[in-house]
Amino acid sequence: MSMKKMLALLLAGAMTISLAACGSKTPDPPEVTPKAPVASASTPDETPKDDGVWRPFNEKGETIRTDRDATGENGMVATSNVYATMAGQKVLQEGGNAVDAAIAVCYALGVAEPFTSGLGGGGFMVIHTADGENSFIDYREVASSGQTAESWLDASGNLIENANSVGGLAVGVPGEVAGLELALAEYGSGKLTRQQIMQPAIDLANNGYVVSPTMYGAIADEYERMIGEYSELGAYYLKDGLPYEVGDTVTNPDLAKTLQLIADNGADAFYQGPVAEAIAAAVQKHGGVMTVEDLASYKPEERVPVTGTYRGYQIISAPPASSGGTHIVEALNVLENYDIGSMTVNSAEYIHLFSETFKACFADRAAYMADTAFAEVPLEGLTSKDYAKTIYERINDQAQTWNAGDPFAYGHDSTTSFSIADKEGNVVTVTQTIECFWGSKIAVEGYGFIMNDEMHDFSTSLDSVNKLEPGKRPLSSMSPTVVLREDGSSFMSVGSPGGVRIWPTVTQVISHVIDHGMDIQEAIDTARIFDNGTDTGINYESDGVTPITPEVAAELEAMGHTVTDKGAWQLFFGGVQGIVYQEDGTLRGGADPRRDGKALGF
């Protein structure tokens, strides 16, 4: 055994990766501060064969922070993984539209980034067509018919450790395949077959992809489970019983087989027959209650997007069961009362305003946001500029504790993620997930994919509006967002993973571009903050692009804020992918160096 292999084993017990998929139940605090993978410990013993594909790391196995952006004239794809970006680009170049390309990306991400999304998960898709149509497809997971919030409690009424995040009782009925089939049927170009759209993902699963520092860290973080109770997962993502190293190639023929079944027979191949039976058996083996009937009854939903305006730009984003789109609009409505563009980015004054705004929105989120089929959600009030004005009027020069407001009293007076855009103005942005890294840790043996732990997004409080109920969608923070110019022409597409940090992150990037005129890559690179009103206070990046300095941190503390330094380039703050239509008609794509993101245009 090499020294590096031995060190990999040691790291498995010590490394902590942000479980930053796309949601976190309210009002839990953010996860423990993640530590970046120690790439040098996983550098291959021998230089791996170069597959000719751009890599997010250098010859030493260290993550690179540059060369993530791109400019194109005809089309642009920005995703969290270069192999997925290439899949979307290929479909566009073959004559597919933005939706076709988005579907290709979704399936490819499930292969090359299996710890964040895949067939066993779900997501949200926002579509804006060049003729002005806006659509939202909700393929979020739902609770099994036989599960309730009490399922997680012991005889004394206490939460069983990890019951809502690991194992069978954490799994929701997956929606990805059904959602992508709906998108293809309703919004696909009709020029490419399902086989053509899925072929890049099938080839990727058969031929393999190169392990990045991010993936290495994700494997090392769950190594003990992969060699223990969840050995089915380890069978796919360990090499000779040890973590794959940076630069190694991973294949998954079982996943290729499953993808081919879907390419041949559509969603029925997944929700009925042998695949559905294998899913139910795997979930039940690990203590869950999901049945083949639950799978057969799953339906995605088409919904009306949440809309708003910011300084004349139109915002189109995710409605419930996402809280994200609503609170992006709410936060921007508050910030619109300030001359943000005149402030220095990440100055104390600037951060204070964002912090207070986020805290007010999180208070409303905890009080009101849930699946609208199970709760009355005051969307009109929460997205009202008059209601936002009441928050603005409460903000002063000191940190405050925020309670929920009364959005029911106000009417409506204005209206991960990856991005794809073409020169005609068709835009698709998608955020999808299996929740925490590696989801529930349950791999479906023989079929190569991982089941979500989306039930983790329900509150464990039996009094919460977001408590688990059979058939209910858990609250999410996923916020795929499209921004239009005042004349209705396409301007920007943006989204991110990152749990409850998603919509604050997306809000900051939108403001960077609109208020400060930043290039999309600069806006993505700029250091971020997060504050949801918990004891950790303002979480911030202290290194990177325009970081929060010690002097600014001291000023914030003098204003009554608690501050927590998360370091540099943190997975904690998500992984934004975005596209902007520039004035000269070209498309500008940006991808987040905090993860493996890469934009490609043509």
What is the predicted pLDDT for the residue at 131? 92
What is the predicted pLDDT for the residue at 49? 57
pLDDT in tens, 74-99: 999 999 999 999 999 999 999 999 99
Complete domains list, the chain, with CATH: 303-418+476-589 (1.10.246.130)
The residues with which 600 forms a beta bridge, in sequence order, are 77
What percentage of the chain has pLDDT greater than the value 90?
87
Average pLDDT over residues 190-197: 98
Pair of tokens at residue 530: 């997060």
Stretch (H or E) spanning 495: strand 490-495
Taking CA atoms, 510 is separated from 206, 472, 552, in Å, by: 38, 31, 23
Is 415 considered catalytic here?
Answer: yes
Q: Which of 251, 415, 536, 562 is catalytic?
A: 415
Whether the per-residue pLDDT at 393 is higher than 80: the answer is yes
pLDDT in tens, 349-390: 999 999 999 999 999 999 999 899 999 999 999 999 999 999
pLDDT in tens, 421-456: 998 999 999 999 999 999 999 999 999 999 999 999
> Residue 79 contacts by C-beta under 8 Å, 6 or more apart in sequence?
85, 88, 105, 109, 418, 419, 577, 591, 597, 598, 599
pLDDT in tens, 221-244: 999 999 999 999 999 999 999 999
What is the predicted pLDDT for the residue at 44? 40
Residue with tokens 């732990």: 453
Q: What is the DSSP letter of 446?
A: T
Report the C-alpha gap between 314 and 438 in whole angstroms. Answer: 35
* Gyration radius from the chain CA atoms: 22
What percentage of the chain has pLDDT greater than the value 70?
91
- pTM for the model stands at 0.91
Q: Is the sign of the CA dihedral 146, 149, 154, 160 positive or negative?
A: positive
What is the predicted pLDDT for the residue at 416? 65
Peptide bond into 274 cis (omega under 30): no
Report the C-alpha gap between 314 and 510 in whole angstroms. Answer: 11
pLDDT in tens, 522-531: 999 999 999 9
Are the C-beta atoms of 470 and 148 separated by less than 8 Å? yes
pLDDT in tens, 515-549: 999 999 999 999 999 999 998 999 999 999 999 99
What is the secondary structure of 377-440 as a DSSP string? --HHHHT-HHHHHHHHHH--SS--------GGG--------EEEEETTS-EEEEEEE-SSTTTT
What is the predicted pLDDT for the residue at 157? 87
Whether the per-residue pLDDT at 16 is higher than 80: the answer is no
Average pLDDT over residues 322-335: 96
Are the C-beta atoms of 145 and 154 separated by less than 8 Å? no
Are the C-beta atoms of 31 and 566 separated by less than 8 Å? no
